[in-house]
Amino acid sequence: MVQLIRSKKLYRWSKEVAPAILILILTIIISILLGQFTFLRGWESVYRGFVRFFRFTFSLCLPLYMLLPIYNKLGFIFRRKEGILIQVEEKQELEIRPLKHWLSRPFQGIGIGLLFATKLLGVLQIATGSAATASLFLPQGQFQLGRLLIVTGMTVLVSILLSTLWTMDDLGIRYFNRKDYEIKMIGKYVGTLMPIAFGLYGVFSLFGEFPKVQALVYLLQIAVMLYPPFTVFSIFHAHFVQGRAEELSRRLHVEKRVIRDE
């Protein structure tokens, strides 16, 4: 029985992450055939591609275990405001949805990643001068400890921000202001529109740093490179929340009464 359950889980996971693995394998094959693609070269892309994929995926998924203490702090903050958190039962979305978890959320993550890179680049330019350029965040084909730490740190921050917003949206958690009786859609629109809007800002920064054609090529490569880990992250996040929905709601001190979300 246990073996059967494990087999079903493995089969389900293999179906859910199939788009990510397919894109990863196609990227490696194209890199071998063309000689270079998504900052990978030739046959070295076989191991470099998988190492990069697992590194990004690990950096995105591991911070999910910080959600419980983060929600403890958020619960304390919201209790001090003039309102309460309520849960809209009809709007809970804890199942895997292809459009949401294979398309929308991975590209939200890519957009936020571009935003973080752009903002950090601005700080580095002020601190170090014109030597800090957008190429700092592009793989250089050789190991650089400083770049690895910067990119890993950004990836962790992106994970924490997105997982916090996505979880509130998935659980149907809304902020109800007792003063004006307005329900705030925490996470629902912020988690969708903010990555898109600020992601465009990050895209435009590439066009300001490189010629148009080269910027388009870099943008395509970055999107293809980051799609597999962000897709696995969105799937892992969904399962993480499914297994801890009650605990996360308790940490936020969500109001027990449930209302309809019109």
Predicted TM-score (pTM) of this structure: 0.83
Rounded CA gap, 201 and 134, in Å?
13
141 touches 39 (CB < 8 A): yes
Residue 132 has pLDDT above 50, yes or no: no
Phi, psi of 140 (to 5 degrees): -100, 0
Residue 82: both structure tokens together: 């003039």
Q: Write the single-letter amino acid at 216.
A: L
**What is the pLDDT at residue 131?**
46
Rounded CA gap, 212 and 259, in Å?
50
- pLDDT tens string 96-119: 888 889 988 898 888 888 777 766
In the 3-class helix/strand/coil scheme, how is 89-153 assigned residue by residue? Answer: HHHCCCCCCHHHHHHHHHHHHHHHHHHHHHHHHHHHHHHHCCCCCHHHHCCCCCCCHHHHHHHHH
Both ends of the chain: CA-CA distance in Å?
A: 43
* Residue scoring higher pLDDT (89 or 50): 50
210 touches 90 (CB < 8 A): no
**What is the pLDDT at residue 26?**
92
**What is the pLDDT at residue 94?**
67
The DSSP symbol for 256 reads E
* Residue scoring higher pLDDT (174 or 100): 100
* Confidence band for 243, pLDDT divided at 50, 70 and 90: confident
Residue 231 has pLDDT above 70, yes or no: yes
Residue 154: both structure tokens together: 């950004």
Strands 83-87 and 173-177: antiparallel
**Averaged confidence pLDDT in the chain:** 76
Residue 23 has pLDDT above 80, yes or no: yes
